[in-house]
Amino acid sequence: MLAKANRIVRGDDFRRVVRTGRRAGCEFAVVHRAQPEAAAARFGFIVSKRVGNAVVRNRVKRRLSALVRAELGDIETADIVIRALPPAGEADLATLRAGIVPLLVRR
């Protein structure tokens, strides 16, 4: 799990990032990036029921969180929301990493 300082938890923050942020995507996720409201990079995850049942959705969230935690030092300060797409439910960690990490460290 990410540290509390690195998480987006309020619905208003999720809406702000998704509506006003810049967007980049791959086949597994869409990454929304907006100007930060805090001193540290903050992340939120959106995994809908289209991705799979509760077990699959939670697995995807854990994998995304692990990816972010591993790359935290290389990611510039921003508020970032990662919205998982249905193929993310069937992808393994290495495949997710190959698709999503380039979107996170993009400058």
Q: Structure tokens of 31?
A: 């990454």
35-39 mean pLDDT: 88
> Tens digits of per-residue pLDDT, 73-101?
888 899 999 999 999 999 999 999 999 99
Shortest CA distance to 22 belongs to which of 80, 91, 92?
Answer: 80
CA distance 26 to 51: 15
Q: What is the pLDDT of residue 81?
A: 97
Q: What is the pLDDT of residue 78?
A: 93
CA distance 43 to 64: 10
In the CATH scheme, what is the code of domain 4-104? 3.30.230.10
Q: What is the pLDDT of residue 89?
A: 95
Phi, psi angles (nearest 5°) of residue 72: -55, -35
CA distance 36 to 39: 7
Residue 107 pLDDT greater than 80, yes or no: no
